[in-house]
Structure 1
Amino acid sequence: MVTTLQKPADAAKLNSGKPPRQLNVPNDLGAKATQEITEAINPLVADAFALYIKTKNYHWHMSGSHFRDYHLLLDEHAEQIFATIDVLAERVRKVGGSTIRSVSHIAALQTVKDSNEEFVAPIDILNDLIGENKNMAANMRKAHEVCDDNKDVATASFLEVFIDETERRTWFLFEAAQRDAD
């Protein structure tokens, strides 16, 4: 039976971390750790989906004198962001939690702001993505703390790599924005 999520109020239930009995993967972290890690990582999965779509949106709708450079940069960034989704979602499952199940689940958990504007100037695109990537890195650091507190070194290790990649994206976007501002 397929059910649909009707309200964002269901977000807390969706991110409870407790999977159905059939999906309850055993681990040595314990139920409390599983729940805390799941509640820290699932919003990152949602944000990665949302940031991927936002980056691809800007990639598809880029215009201006630096079109080719920005178009290729954003495509590279989108691929890198997309690559984090499966790794993070599978970590949630490996520790015994339940992860993202639908677009409405993503919408309920995401902190990345959607961009539905018909046109966004290149400098505004770069600055928006700088802010979103900075927020993503900060949220990853918070999740890393949760993983550390629960002795989940594997998830923490992935987050360390993803934080570095996110900081690199922020740096490249910043430098591109400086070039555009000059």
Structure 2
Amino acid sequence: MDTKVDTGIAQGDRNAIAEGLGRVLADTYTLYLKTHNYHWNVTGPQFRALHLMFEEQYRELWAATDEIAERIRALGYYAPGTYAEYAKLTSIQEDNGVPSADQMVANLVKGHETVVKTARDLFQLADEAKDEVSADLMVQRMDASEKTAWMLRSMIE
């Protein structure tokens, strides 16, 4: 869908940015779901620390999904919103079974690094199209995921 949007960003650029935002949304939502799953299912000596940390992280990711989806809408497109769409768009692998606590942490590090890469790719496009709002949103996502990856990495190093 493309409605009449005239904010100074060319239609082709808006379309490409919206598609990129869809990939960032899919990665973020998939990472949210994985993190929430780990919150529910973590076990072991670090249970309490990880349970609480995963909750902080999934809440932040949940809020981010709304910001990303609303940016897609502001550009004049519909945001993807089904598991099937996310499965096609995401770069994050689902788990088979319940991993160990250390593997959960390692998986989340990889997931956050994936979000950073997806956001970084879109940042370049948004910046070139002079879409400062989308570029800024990608900076926020990169910052949040880089910091979270660092904190998670510190738990298993």
- Under TM normalisation by the shorter chain, which class is it? over 0.9
Distance 2:103 2:78 in 1: 36
Once the two structures are overlaid, the 10-residue window that deviates more, 108-117 or 72-81, is 108-117
Distance 1:135 1:47 in 2: 8
Identity of aligned residues (%): 24
Using the TM superposition, give the Cα deviation of residue 25 of structure 1 relative to its aligned residue in structure 2, in angstroms.
Answer: 4.6
Using the TM superposition, give the Cα deviation of residue 116 of structure 1 relative to its aligned residue in structure 2, in angstroms.
Answer: 3.2
Partner in structure 2 of residue 13 of structure 1: none
| Letter paired with 2:110 | G
Distance 2:100 2:77 in 1: 41
Residue in structure 2 matching 1:60, options 40, 44, 67: 40
Distance 2:25 2:134 in 1: 13
SS where residue 140 of structure 1 aligns?
Answer: helix
Q: How does 1:1-182 map to 2 (within 5 A)?
A: 19=1, 24-27=3-6, 28-117=8-97, 119-178=98-157
Distance 1:25 1:71 in 2: 46
| Letter paired with 1:114 | E
| Letter paired with 1:91 | R
Q: Using a 3 Å threshold, how does the CA distance of structure 1 residues 170 and 53 change in structure 2: closer, same or farther?
A: same
Please identify the structure whose Cα radius of gyration is greater. Answer: 1
Distance 1:47 1:53 in 2: 10
SS where residue 146 of structure 2 aligns?
Answer: helix
SS where residue 125 of structure 1 aligns?
Answer: helix
What stretches of structure 1 move > 3 A for 4+ residues in a row? none
SS where residue 151 of structure 1 aligns?
Answer: coil
User: For the aligned residues, what is the CA RMSD?
Assistant: 1.2
Query: Residues 130 and 170 of structure 1 are in contact (CA less than 8 Å); yes or no, is this contact kept in structure 2?
Result: yes
Give the TM-score, by structure 2 length: 0.94
Distance 2:88 2:114 in 1: 17
Unaligned ranges ≥5, structure 2: none
Distance 1:72 1:169 in 2: 14
Count of equivalent residues: 156
Unaligned ranges ≥5, structure 1: 1-18
Partner in structure 2 of residue 4 of structure 1: none
